[in-house]
Amino acid sequence: MTKPPNTAKAAPAKAAPAKTAAAKAPAAKGATAKAPKAAKAEAPPKGTAVGKPKTGQKPNALQQPLQPSEALAAVVGEGAMPRGEVVSKVWEYIKAHKLQSPKDGRVIVADDKLRRVFGQDQATMFEMNKLLAQHLK
C-alpha cells in the first residue's frame, strides 16, 4: 500500500541578511567600529503611578480613574484611581503580607481581605485582573 502524495506546500526558505562592506572589512586601529547611539528617554521607575493624559486627549483604559468597591478599598485604599495603580497596590499588599505560595509564586493565597475580593481561597496571578475588574466601576 502506498501513501498519498503530500499536497502541502513547503514554506520558502528565508535568506540570510546581507552584510555591508563596512561590516566585512576590519576596522583600522584607533577607529571606532560603531557610531554612538542616541540616548533614549529615561522610562519612569517601576511602581510609579500612570500619568495623566495630555490636555485634549482622552485617557486610555489604564488611565481612566475607577472607584473600587468597599472590599477592594480595604486593600488598596479609598478614592478613585486608575486600573494600573489598583493592580500595583494589590501586588504591594500581596508581597507585604507574603501571600504568594512558596511552591508556586504565580499562586496568591488569599487572606480575609483578599478572600472578600477574590471570592475564593486562592487565585493565580492571571486570574487576579479578572477578579479585580468585578470590583471596579
Query: What secondary structure letter does DSSP report for 120?
Result: S
Q: What is the DSSP letter of 19?
A: P
Domains (range + CATH), the chain: 65-133 (1.10.245.10)
Burial of 108 (C-beta count, 10 Å sphere; 0-12/13-18/19+):
buried
pTM of the model: 0.57
Show pLDDT as tens, one digit a residue, over the chain (137 residues): 666 666 666 666 666 666 665 555 555 565 555 655 655 556 555 555 556 656 667 767 678 999 999 999 999 999 999 999 999 999 999 999 999 999 999 999 999 999 999 999 999 999 999 999 999 99
Cell match 495623566: residue? 52
